[in-house]
Amino acid sequence: MDNNKKLSIIAFSGDFDKLTAVFTLATGAAAVGYEVNIFFTFWGLDAIKRKQGRSFTGGNWLTKCFGFMMGGLKVTPTSRFNFCGAGPRIFRSLMKKNNVATLEELVDAAKLLGINFYACEMAMHVLGLKKEDFIPEVKDVLGVASFLNLSEGGQTLFI
Protein backbone atom coordinates (compact mmCIF):
# COMPACT_ATOMS: atom_id res chain seq x y z
CA MET A 1 0.00 0.00 0.00
CA ASP A 2 1.19 3.49 -0.81
CA ASN A 3 2.06 4.84 2.61
CA ASN A 4 1.68 8.44 1.44
CA LYS A 5 -2.01 7.89 0.72
CA LYS A 6 -2.92 8.31 4.35
CA LEU A 7 -4.80 11.13 6.03
CA SER A 8 -5.09 11.38 9.81
CA ILE A 9 -7.19 13.99 11.52
CA ILE A 10 -7.20 15.00 15.17
CA ALA A 11 -10.79 16.22 15.57
CA PHE A 12 -10.50 18.51 18.58
CA SER A 13 -13.16 21.11 17.84
CA GLY A 14 -16.86 20.46 18.29
CA ASP A 15 -17.93 23.38 16.12
CA PHE A 16 -20.39 22.64 13.36
CA ASP A 17 -18.29 24.20 10.61
CA LYS A 18 -15.04 22.60 11.76
CA LEU A 19 -16.66 19.16 12.06
CA THR A 20 -18.01 19.69 8.54
CA ALA A 21 -14.42 20.34 7.45
CA VAL A 22 -13.25 17.15 9.24
CA PHE A 23 -15.81 14.94 7.52
CA THR A 24 -15.51 16.64 4.11
CA LEU A 25 -11.76 16.10 4.12
CA ALA A 26 -12.11 12.57 5.47
CA THR A 27 -14.75 11.38 2.99
CA GLY A 28 -13.07 13.18 0.08
CA ALA A 29 -9.81 11.41 0.88
CA ALA A 30 -11.39 8.00 1.47
CA ALA A 31 -13.29 8.27 -1.83
CA VAL A 32 -10.00 8.39 -3.75
CA GLY A 33 -8.44 5.50 -1.87
CA TYR A 34 -6.76 7.10 1.11
CA GLU A 35 -6.57 5.33 4.43
CA VAL A 36 -8.29 7.77 6.80
CA ASN A 37 -8.01 7.86 10.59
CA ILE A 38 -9.95 10.27 12.76
CA PHE A 39 -8.90 10.69 16.37
CA PHE A 40 -11.72 12.39 18.28
CA THR A 41 -10.69 14.33 21.35
CA PHE A 42 -12.18 16.97 23.67
CA TRP A 43 -15.16 18.74 22.03
CA GLY A 44 -14.73 16.60 18.93
CA LEU A 45 -15.97 13.60 20.94
CA ASP A 46 -19.38 15.19 20.51
CA ALA A 47 -19.54 13.89 16.96
CA ILE A 48 -19.35 10.22 17.93
CA LYS A 49 -21.62 10.15 20.94
CA ARG A 50 -24.23 7.43 20.66
CA LYS A 51 -26.94 9.46 22.27
CA GLN A 52 -27.21 12.60 20.20
CA GLY A 53 -29.03 15.48 21.82
CA ARG A 54 -28.50 17.06 25.22
CA SER A 55 -28.47 14.58 28.10
CA PHE A 56 -26.92 14.21 31.51
CA THR A 57 -24.47 11.35 30.98
CA GLY A 58 -21.22 10.93 32.89
CA GLY A 59 -20.14 10.02 36.38
CA ASN A 60 -20.50 13.03 38.65
CA TRP A 61 -22.44 16.27 38.37
CA LEU A 62 -19.60 18.11 36.65
CA THR A 63 -19.16 15.55 33.89
CA LYS A 64 -22.96 15.32 33.66
CA CYS A 65 -22.96 19.05 32.91
CA PHE A 66 -20.49 18.51 30.09
CA GLY A 67 -22.80 15.74 28.89
CA PHE A 68 -25.58 18.27 28.73
CA MET A 69 -23.56 21.07 27.16
CA MET A 70 -21.99 18.83 24.54
CA GLY A 71 -25.28 17.84 22.95
CA GLY A 72 -23.98 16.30 19.76
CA LEU A 73 -24.29 17.22 16.11
CA LYS A 74 -27.83 18.54 16.32
CA VAL A 75 -26.99 21.40 18.67
CA THR A 76 -23.32 22.13 18.01
CA PRO A 77 -22.59 25.82 17.29
CA THR A 78 -20.60 27.31 14.40
CA SER A 79 -17.23 28.88 15.21
CA ARG A 80 -18.39 32.16 13.64
CA PHE A 81 -21.82 33.75 13.16
CA ASN A 82 -23.52 31.32 15.49
CA PHE A 83 -26.34 33.71 16.44
CA CYS A 84 -27.48 31.61 19.41
CA GLY A 85 -27.79 28.50 17.28
CA ALA A 86 -29.20 29.96 14.09
CA GLY A 87 -25.82 29.66 12.34
CA PRO A 88 -25.86 25.85 12.00
CA ARG A 89 -29.48 25.94 10.85
CA ILE A 90 -28.61 28.48 8.15
CA PHE A 91 -25.74 26.28 7.04
CA ARG A 92 -27.89 23.19 6.90
CA SER A 93 -30.43 25.04 4.80
CA LEU A 94 -27.74 26.36 2.43
CA MET A 95 -26.20 22.90 2.15
CA LYS A 96 -29.51 21.29 1.20
CA LYS A 97 -30.39 24.07 -1.22
CA ASN A 98 -27.02 23.78 -2.96
CA ASN A 99 -26.97 19.98 -2.96
CA VAL A 100 -24.00 19.77 -0.65
CA ALA A 101 -24.00 16.84 1.78
CA THR A 102 -25.04 17.89 5.29
CA LEU A 103 -22.94 17.04 8.33
CA GLU A 104 -25.08 14.02 9.22
CA GLU A 105 -24.85 12.72 5.64
CA LEU A 106 -21.09 13.17 5.73
CA VAL A 107 -20.84 11.19 8.97
CA ASP A 108 -22.92 8.40 7.41
CA ALA A 109 -20.71 8.47 4.31
CA ALA A 110 -17.63 8.23 6.52
CA LYS A 111 -19.02 5.06 8.11
CA LEU A 112 -19.80 3.52 4.72
CA LEU A 113 -16.35 4.38 3.39
CA GLY A 114 -14.74 2.49 6.25
CA ILE A 115 -13.02 5.48 7.79
CA ASN A 116 -11.39 4.58 11.10
CA PHE A 117 -12.85 6.35 14.14
CA TYR A 118 -10.78 6.48 17.32
CA ALA A 119 -11.57 8.10 20.67
CA CYS A 120 -8.93 9.83 22.80
CA GLU A 121 -8.35 8.06 26.09
CA MET A 122 -7.25 11.12 28.05
CA ALA A 123 -10.17 13.33 27.02
CA MET A 124 -12.59 10.51 27.88
CA HIS A 125 -11.13 10.39 31.38
CA VAL A 126 -11.51 14.15 31.81
CA LEU A 127 -15.05 14.31 30.46
CA GLY A 128 -16.20 11.12 32.19
CA LEU A 129 -17.08 9.23 28.99
CA LYS A 130 -16.86 5.47 28.39
CA LYS A 131 -16.53 3.48 25.17
CA GLU A 132 -20.20 2.50 25.51
CA ASP A 133 -21.17 6.17 25.21
CA PHE A 134 -19.94 6.19 21.61
CA ILE A 135 -21.39 4.87 18.37
CA PRO A 136 -20.34 1.27 17.57
CA GLU A 137 -18.28 2.46 14.59
CA VAL A 138 -15.63 3.72 17.03
CA LYS A 139 -12.89 1.16 16.46
CA ASP A 140 -10.80 1.74 19.53
CA VAL A 141 -9.82 3.98 22.39
CA LEU A 142 -6.28 5.23 21.85
CA GLY A 143 -3.57 7.21 23.58
CA VAL A 144 -1.38 9.75 21.82
CA ALA A 145 1.49 7.34 21.11
CA SER A 146 -0.73 4.80 19.34
CA PHE A 147 -2.33 7.49 17.25
CA LEU A 148 1.01 8.97 16.16
CA ASN A 149 2.10 5.49 15.24
CA LEU A 150 -0.98 5.06 13.04
CA SER A 151 -0.60 8.42 11.35
CA GLU A 152 3.14 8.21 10.70
CA GLY A 153 4.19 8.80 7.11
CA GLY A 154 0.94 10.38 5.98
CA GLN A 155 -0.61 13.82 6.32
CA THR A 156 -1.86 14.74 9.78
CA LEU A 157 -4.20 17.63 10.54
CA PHE A 158 -5.37 19.17 13.80
CA ILE A 159 -8.84 20.63 13.39
Query: In this complex, which beta carbon is closest to its own copies, that of residue 62 or of residue 111?
Result: 62
The nearer residue to its own copies, 60 or 132, going by C-beta atoms, is 60
Candidates 93, 41, 43; CA nearest to 71 is: 43
In the chain, beta strands by DSSP E: 6-11, 35-40, 116-120, 138-142, 155-158
Q: How far apart are CB 101 and its own copies at their closest, in Å? A: 9
Binding site for its own copies (CB under 8 A): 4-5, 7, 10, 12-14, 17-18, 21, 24-25, 27-29, 31-32, 34, 41-43, 60, 62-63, 66, 69, 79-81, 90-91, 93-95, 97-100, 122, 125-128, 143-145, 148-149, 151-153, 155-159
52 versus 128: smaller Cβ distance to its own copies = 128
Distance CA 121, CA 131 (A): 9
- The b/e string for 76-108 (b: 16+ C-beta within 10 A; e otherwise) is bbbeeebeeeebbeebeeebeeeeebbbeebbe
Kindly report the number of other CB atoms within 10 A of residue 125's CB atom. 10
Cβ of residue 51: shortest distance to its own copies, in angstroms?
19
Taking the complex as a whole, the smallest distance from the CB of residue 132 to its own copies amounts, in Å, to 17
